């Protein structure tokens, strides 16, 4: 019985220690402005032009799209290059990036507006602007 007395508070303490770099309510639909994330951002290589994305759409470098590992397809996110403050709004149409620490891959057009093409990878912050329908 004494073990149970000490075990329960210990488990509650451990449960409260869990953390995440993602802020939000944990739902699959992220309400506008409540989901933010920071990490590294990159852009799609030109070789993906014309290929199908995970959502079924075709990747086009001239569109304002992005890949994110968990946000629902159709979610509009604002990606900000934290080095220069430039931001773009893109729609999640694909899954990725598949490299640890990377949180978003943006289309070539978005990368040009963010000024990340020459760098390839930059620190970014993203915020949900419009939840997926």
Give per-residue pLDDT as tens, 80-110.
Answer: 999 999 999 999 999 999 999 999 999 999 9
pLDDT digits (tens, 9 = 90+) for 13-67: 333 333 333 433 333 455 566 789 999 999 988 889 999 999 999 999 999 999 9
Q: What is the mean pLDDT of residues 74-85?
A: 97
10 or 61, higher pLDDT: 61
| Predicted local distance difference test score (pLDDT) of residue 29 | 53
**Claim: this prediction has a pTM higher than 0.85:** no
C-alpha–C-alpha distance, residues 7 and 24, integer Å: 30
Closest CA to 39 of 111, 100, 117, 88: 100
Is the pLDDT reported for residue 1 higher than 70?
Answer: no
Q: How confident is the model at residue 76 (pLDDT cuts 50, 70, 90)?
A: very high
Distance from first CA to last CA of the chain, Å, rounded? 51
**98's tokens:** 């598949």
What pLDDT is stored for residue 32 in this prediction?
Answer: 62
User: Tokens in use for 3?
Assistant: 């073990």
């Amino acid at each position: 019985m004494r073990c149970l007395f000490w075990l329960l508070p210990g488990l509650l303490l451990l449960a409260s220690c869990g953390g995440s770099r993602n802020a939000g309510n944990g739902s699959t639909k992220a309400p506008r402005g409540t989901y933010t994330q920071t990490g590294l951002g990159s852009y799609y290589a030109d070789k993906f032009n014309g290929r199908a994305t995970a959502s079924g759409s075709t990747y086009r470098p001239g569109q304002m799209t992005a890949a994110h590992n968990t946000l629902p397809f159709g979610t509009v996110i604002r990606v900000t290059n934290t080095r220069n403050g430039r931001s773009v709004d893109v729609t999640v149409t694909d899954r990725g990036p598949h490299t640890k620490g990377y949180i978003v891959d943006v289309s070539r057009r978005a990368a040009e507006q963010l000024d990340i093409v020459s760098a390839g990878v930059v620190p970014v912050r993203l915020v949900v602007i419009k939840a997926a329908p």
